[in-house]
Amino acid sequence: MKQYKQSEAIQRLPDQFFAKLVKKLNDFQQQKGEDVLNLGQGNPDQPTPEHIVQSLQKAAENPEYHMYPPFQGFDFLKEAVATYYKREYDVDLDPSSEVAILFGSKSGLVELSQCFLNPGDTALVPDPGYPDYWSGVAMTDAVMEPMPLLEKNNFLPDYNAMDPEVLKQAKLMFLNYPNNPTSAVADQAFFEETIELADANDICVVHDFAYGAIGFDGEKPLSFMQVPGAKDVGVEIYTMSKTYNMAGWRVAFAVGNQSVVEALELVQDHYFVSLFGAVQEASATALLDSQECVEELTDTYEARRDLLLEGLRNSGYRFQPCKGSFFVWVHVPNGYSSEEFADALLEQVGLFVAPGIGFGDYGEGFVRIGLNNSEETLRDAISRFQKFADKNNIV
């Protein structure tokens, strides 16, 4: 069979970290046939709330939604987004010019690089960070400059430690708080510093607010858009996946700078003909109706966090404070790399975790554990962590 050569853009794409993780897990289970607890992925395990599902079911009967929807989304969903931001964050948005509907946050993050980067341009990416930031940068043949997220800096970039020439060259900056994988959160002072830096160096800030609803200990995560000047220098991307357990629905939105929203909508005009109207109506229902389901979900993750951290602590493992998101960032025991530790957990006790090196060079020394499992499963995981600790003298 004839083999066709892939484009240079496709060849530049990095290995898909999560696809590689899933393959590793599947191969192990097929070869060993053993019971494995999957703590390595970030896939919400709860069903979409019933009132949102019912909204979709009813809306699917509307013949208006059986035709092509407006290219840039229905106005009612953009208005719902603006209402949500005003209610939750006291942020004013113009639905017609400051809101873009996205096919999931991942597509929007990739599209932003395509909108604003040319070959050789510089993008600032967090390290460790969500690997799909890299994909759009690679496709545009731009240059990635890592922003180290270090424990001593509470996993926030230290702008004073960065090369001023790199900052002058940068066109895009990706940020993500609450953070995947470290679970760190950002405060107003950090965002104010970011806005000042971006304004001085003409950098477009992209804040990935995927875990915006998941904050613990009574602390609500701060939206970048809440900080004065944020709208002038960038956008925030919010996904329905985590807040409403709608991962498979592929709905997200970008809010903020009008020129960025305009560019996103332009590129999407060429890619898509918007989302199925019934999905848009159900998304508006999620944003506008009671948020009790979101409060219950956050409480569930917090209870799971507390259970897991107590078990890890009692077994001698060290970890970072988990202030938001549904991940725990755990130190690798002495004598292991992150991949060696992940492999040993899988081989010896059937625990599957994500090695930190998969999120960037500065992820070495950690593994990421997801809270996307029941308390019963987490108790089983804790006993396996204890078994591994006893066997390998982890203290």
pLDDT (tens digit, 9 = 90+) per residue, 70-124? 999 999 999 999 999 999 999 999 999 999 999 989 999 999 999 999 999 999 9
Output the pLDDT for position 14: 77
**Would the pLDDT of 6 be above 90?**
no
Instruction: Give the pLDDT score at 105.
Output: 93
pLDDT band at 181 (very low <50, low <70, confident <90, very high): very high
Do 356 and 272 share a structural domain?
no
**Burial state string for 335-344 with b = 16 or more CB within 10 A and e = fewer than 16:** ebebeebbbb
Q: Is 349 inside any structural domain? A: yes
* Cβ proximity of 212 and 243 under 8 Å: yes
- Tell me whether residue 2 is in a domain: no
Please name the residue ranges forming H helices in the chain: 8-12, 17-32, 50-59, 75-89, 104-116, 132-139, 164-169, 188-201, 230-233, 240-243, 258-271, 277-288, 292-314, 338-349, 375-392
Neighbours of 90 (CB within 10 A): 10
Q: Look at residue 245 in the predicted model and tell me its pLDDT.
A: 96
pLDDT at 374 over 90: yes
For residue 85, give the CATH number of its domain: 3.40.640.10
Residue 1: inside a domain? no
d(CA 231, CA 256): 5
Q: Is residue 220 over pLDDT 70? A: yes
Which one, of 194, 181, 188, 151, lies nearest residue 324 by Cα?
A: 181
- Same domain, residue pair 161 and 266: yes
Greatest Cα pair distance in the chain: 64
Q: How confident is the model at residue 54 (pLDDT cuts 50, 70, 90)?
A: very high
Residue 28 has pLDDT above 80, yes or no: no
Structure tokens at 394: 């982890």
Domain span at 202: 50-288
> Helix, strand or coil for residue 90?
coil
Query: What is the pLDDT at residue 125?
Result: 97
The verdict on 43 and 82 lying in the same domain is no
For residue 34, pLDDT over 90 is answered with: no
Residue 47 to residue 293: CA distance in whole angstroms: 11
**How far apart are alpha carbons 176 and 171 in whole angstroms?**
17
Q: What pLDDT shows up at residue 13?
A: 82
pLDDT of residue 393: 82
Inside any domain, residue 67: yes
Asked if residue 211 belongs to a domain, the reply is yes
Q: Does the pLDDT of residue 326 top 90, yes or no?
A: yes
Give the residue among 370, 374, 375 at the shortest CA–CA distance from 43: 370
Domain boundary among 288, 322, 356: 288
Q: What average pLDDT does this structure show over 306-317? A: 95
Query: Residue 32: pLDDT band by 50, 70, 90 thresholds?
Result: low
Judgement on whether residues 193 and 279 belong to the same structural domain of the protein: yes
Same domain, 179 and 306: no
Split into its structural domains, the chain has a count of: 2
Q: Band the pLDDT of 20: cuts 50, 70, 90.
A: confident
Do residues 43 and 70 both lie within one domain?
no
What is the average per-residue pLDDT within 253-258?
Answer: 98
Distances (CA, A) of 322 to 99, 154, 391: 30, 11, 27
User: What is the structure's pLDDT at 394?
Assistant: 76
The candidate with the shortest Cα–Cα distance to 127, out of 97, 158, 82, 98, is: 158
Is residue 259 assigned to a domain? yes
- Alpha helices for 132-251 (secondary structure H): 132-139, 164-169, 188-201, 230-233, 240-243
Residues 246 and 358 in one domain: no
268-293 confidence digits (pLDDT tens): 998 887 899 999 999 999 999 999 99
Residue 218 has pLDDT above 90, yes or no: yes
**Tokens, residue 126:** 């967090």
Residues 166 and 306 in one domain: no
Residue 319: inside a domain: yes
Is 80 exceeded by the pLDDT of residue 29? no
Question: What average pLDDT does the segment 212-234 reach?
Answer: 97
330 pLDDT exceeds 80? yes
Please check whether residues 189 and 59 belong to one and the same domain.
Answer: yes
Mean pLDDT in the chain? Answer: 94
Are 179 and 253 found together in one domain?
A: yes
- The pLDDT > 70 percentage for the chain reads 97
What's the confidence (pLDDT) of residue 201?
A: 97
Asked whether residue 3 is assigned to any structural domain, the reply reads no
Q: What's the pLDDT at 33?
A: 61
Domain boundary among 240, 255, 288: 288
pLDDT for 83: 98
> Is the predicted pLDDT of residue 395 greater than 70, yes or no?
no
Pair 251, 307 in one domain: no
What CATH number is associated with residue 388?
Answer: 3.90.1150.10
pTM: 0.95
Of 269, 288, 307, which residue constitutes the final position of a domain? Answer: 288
Per-residue tokens: 338: 């992150």
> What percent of the chain is predicted at pLDDT more than 90?
85
Q: How far is residue 385's CA from residue 65's CA, in Å, rounded to a whole number?
A: 50
Same structural domain, 67 and 149: yes
Nearest to 315 by CA among 300, 325, 330, 294: 330
